[in-house]
Structure formats: structure tokens, C-alpha cells
Structure 1
Amino acid sequence: MPADATGGSGDTYTGGLRKVARVVLLDPDDRILLLNGHEPDDPADEWWFTPGGGVEGDESREQAALRELFEETGITDVELGPVLWRRMCSFPFAGRRWDQDEWYFLARTTQTATGATRLTDLERRSVAGARWWTCEELARAHETVYPTRLAGLLRRLLDEGPPAGPVTLDAEIV
């Protein structure tokens, strides 16, 4: 049930607080791109989440966001904006517990075709695809989506624009 346990350094994650950069990617029609993930050994245990993953080495969170977006979606034509939200989360995935400090960056693109280009082994076993969602579709969705209040957060973002500074979301511990 991760928001993302599959990105970047995910195959080698051994515990501790993982720094994560996530991307709230919007197209010209204000649709958001979400990835469809599932437990590696149980495709029925599925959810939707924003692209992104763990910071590697000495890269910045901005660099990690752009790298992860490219690896998971193939999208490179991106205007990376401010950090919208921050969230702490902890969840079981792929037989271990993941503790993450996630930063959600706003990004815009005109490139809507997606194609995973450099998935890790864990991602190949747990990411089933990508989909662009309208805010209305997201609000009506019965699927599990992370962060859990994403539809409302997106609506507020579209109505009011980015917040003056990052908003701290409720921690999600599963």
C-alpha cells in the first residue's frame, strides 16, 4: 500500500527514513498523471500514486523528481514548479516496512504520451501502467489513491494556485 516504494533506489532500500521526491504532473487540460501500482506478488492489491521515488546519492530533491519522472514515464518536457506538499508516511510493501519523507513538486508538461524507460526490477513487478485523470474523475474514483486526499488537494490547487509555501499533509501510517 505504498505511495511509492518502487522508485529509484527502492530495490536497495534497507530501512530508515527515505527521502522521496514526487511529482504532481499536470497536462494542458489540468489532468494529473498517476501510476497504477500493486504488491509484487498480489496484483489485486492495487492503488494509484504520483510518479517519483527516492533521492539517490547527493542529488537534490528537484533532480530526483525529474529523474524519477523520466524513468517511470519517459516524460522529459517538464517545467518543474514549487514544492506543494510534504508528507511523512510508513507502510508495508514487498515484504518490508518503508518510512518516507515525501516532497510533492508541481510540474507542467505538454507531453502526454507515457512510456516507462528505466524501471527497476521491483518497479517492473509492481507498476502496471499510467493514466491521466481529471479532477472530477479523481473525486469520483473508488480506487485507492495516495496521498489519500489527492482529489481535494488537486481541486484546491486548480482553484487557488500553488500555496505560498509547502503544506504539511497528515502523516499516513499503515
Structure 2
Amino acid sequence: MNEPARRIRRAARILLLDEHDRLLLIRFTPPDRGAFWCGVGGECDPDEDFPAAATRELFEETGLVVTDCGPEIARRSDDYLTLVGEPITSDERFYRVRTTSFTPDTRGHTEIEQALIGEFRWFTRAELANWQEPVFPVNLLELLELESGE
């Protein structure tokens, strides 16, 4: 039986680094699979470009306001299930934003985010390399190296 075509899900992802070169990640705890970590970001609204989505998602997920998310540093595509179980093909663009360490403000979270976000944490590269729970994307450390060469 043929699988239905997957929707292309355009998403902006932010590599949010603090003054200690630590990366902010979010721990998601979906009820149908194990907990995992990923960075700030999310789906583009219809007719929204990637930089605008990055700026909006950064504010909605953390409360941080920036006027420019910086240059696109990487792109990736993958097939996976969203948090609501929809099979998609992702079109993800990554941006680097530097800030000082802060505690994220979660007032802008959607209902789904409120239900599934377990915590935020600033990670060093060494911690990421040895973390016991899954971190996505799996090549996150490589993405961090790409951006550090700029």
C-alpha cells in the first residue's frame, strides 16, 4: 500500500548561544515516545519567510526580542513525525543568535508547547557530546562548528 505524500514543513531553527558559548535547548516530553531535546524554532506561517519565522519563534518560545536573526548558516531536510504525529518532510533553515544567558519566558507558548515542553537548559558542547537523551538534529555539534567559523 502506498504511503500518502508527506507535507513539506518549512521551519526556522535558531542556534541560541550565550556569552559562555552554551546552546539553549528545549526538552520535549511527548506521551507517545521518549523525551528528546532540540533548539528553539518552529514552522513558518503561510507566506512568512525563514528569517521572519526565526525572529518570531525566538520571541514566542523564549521571550527574547531580536530585530535580526543573522545569516542563514545551514539547511537540512528530513522525514519525521511532528509532535502531533503528522508525518512530514522538513525544510529547515538554521540561524545563529548570540545573547547573554537568561531564563526563558514561556508566556508565548502554544497549548501544545505548554503540554510538551519539560524544561530549558544551556548546554556546553562537551555536555552535548555525551548527553544521555536524544538531541535533534543529530548533527547539532557539526552545525555549531559551521557557525563558529564565520
TMscore range, shorter length:
0.7 to 0.9
Q: For residues 78 and 139 of structure 1, what CA distance do their matches in structure 2 show?
A: 31
Residue 133 of structure 1 and its aligned partner are, at CA, apart by 0.4
In structure 2, C-alpha distance between the alignment counterparts of 1:28 and 1:110, rounded to whole Å: 5
| TM-score, normalised by the number of residues in structure 2 | 0.85
Task: Mark the CA change 1:110 to 1:78 in structure 2 (over 3 Å): closer, same or farther.
Answer: farther
Match of 1:137 in 2: 127
Asked if structure 1 preserves the Cα contact closer than 8 Å seen for 2:10 and 2:92, the reply is yes
Q: Percent identity?
A: 35
The answer for the alignment partner of 1:38 in structure 2 is: 29
Q: Give 1:124's match in structure 2, choosing from 110, 114, 122.
A: 114
Of 150, 154, 168, 2:140 maps to: 150
Aligned partner letter, 2:53: A
Q: C-alpha displacement at 1:107, in angstroms? A: 0.8
* 1:112 aligned onto 2:102: yes
Question: Which amino acid is the alignment partner of residue 52 of structure 1?
Answer: G
Shift of 1:20: 0.5
SS in 1 for 2:138: coil
Maintained 8 Å contact 1:78/1:109:
no
Deviation at 1:77, TM superposition (A): 4.8
Two-structure CA RMSD over aligned residues (Å): 1.9
CA gap of 1:141–1:116, structure 2 versus 1, over 3 A, is same
- Per-residue CA deviation, residues 14-66 of structure 1 (Å, 9 max, x unaligned), is x6101100100111111111111122x24x61111011011113222111101
Distance across 1 between alignment mates of 2:137 and 2:115: 22
Runs of 5+ consecutive residues of structure 2 not aligned to the other structure: 1-5
User: In the aligned structure 2, how far is the partner of 1:78 from the partner of 1:25?
Assistant: 14
Q: Structure 1 length normalisation: TM-score?
A: 0.74
Which 5+ residue runs of structure 1 have no aligned equivalent? 1-14, 163-174
